[in-house]
Structure 1
C-alpha cells in the first residue's frame, strides 16, 4: 500500500501528524494502521527501520487527512496499551525533538543489552523503569509484562544501547529495593527456549565490530552518566 511509503519531513504536514512511541517489537505497520484508522483517515504511516537489524525502532509517524483527526486521536489514545506497552501519542514536532524520548532514538541499535527484572512492585510501570535505569546510560526501551486485564506480572525488561550501561545496571540495581520490593536483575534470555542469555561473548563482539566499522552512530557510545 502506498500509504506505507516513507514521507520526507518537508512533505509531511506536522500539524496533522502524530508521533507514536514505545511501540512493541511485535507491532507492524498493518497493526498500527488497523488501530488508528478507526479514529481518522490516514494519509501516510511510517515505522522507521534499523539499518542493521531491519526491525522498527519503537516509534513511528502517522499523518492524518486533517488536523481535526489528529486532535481527536491524541485525546482518545491516552492510556492505551498495545501488547502491554503504554503507547506514547503526541503531535509530531521536528525530527530532533521527536527523537529525544527514550524509546524513540532513530539511530539507536538494539545490540542485545537486554535486562530482565523480576519481583517488581505492581505499581512500577515503564516510566518508573526508565527513570530508574537511565542513570546508567542510554535506554532503547522499557516494558512491563502484563496480564490481559493490564495488571503487572511483576516482571519487566530494560534494553540499553551498550553493554557497559547494562553491566553497570545489573551491578547497582540487582538485589536493591524498588518500591518496597527486592528486585532481581539479570540479562534476559534470547528466546522462549531459555537456553542462552543476552550479553554473551558473541553479542559483545558483534557490538564492538559494529562500532569499529561505524555501523553504530556515535550517539550509541557509552556515556559517563551513565526474559530473565
Structure 2
C-alpha cells in the first residue's frame, strides 16, 4: 500500500533506521511507475522484526502501509498443501462420452458416503467428459483422489481426479502464482550495477542517466 511517490531511495531512508539493508526495491511497471509495494532485505532478523513493529500501520505520505515478513515460496506451498487436504468436493475428468451419473456414483461410493454426484452433459445427452462428486468426509475424498487419479477408463487417456476448487480459490491461486513470478523476476534483476569507463570529461551524472534511461528503470547514476 505504498504511495506512488515512494521510490527506492525513500523506502531505503525509511527502513535503514532499523538496521543494515542488503537490498531494497520498489516494484515498478513497464513505465517505471510504482506498483504500490516493495521488498526490503535486512542483514539481521532482529532489524526486520523491529521494522515490522514500528512501520506496519504507519502513515507514509498520507497512506497507511502494511509491512510484514516475506513468506518464502516453500512455506506458502506447504501451507496451501495442508489446507488442500481438508476438502470434500472432487473434480473428475477424462472419462468417455457414454459415462453416466450412475457410473460415477458406482466408481466413488466405495470410498465413503457421497452427498451428491453429477456428470456434465452436452445438449445431445452425451457426457462432456467431466463431473463432480461431493463426499461427507474429507478422508474419503482424499482416498478417492489417491486411488483413482491416473487410472485409465478411456484408452490412452488417464483419469484426472483432484480437489474441486471454487472460482475464488482458482483466481486466488492464479494471482499468487503471478505475484510469485513477478517477485522472482524482480529479485533476479535486483541490484544490477554497470561500470562505464572512457567517458569524456563533459559527461555528467544527468547525461549518463539520459543515455541509459531507454533501457530500463535507473535507481542511481
TM-score by length of 2: 0.36
Q: Answer 1 or 2: higher relative contact order, Cα 8 Å, separation at least 6.
A: 1
- Which structure is higher in helix share? 2
Query: Which protein shows a greater Rg?
Result: 2
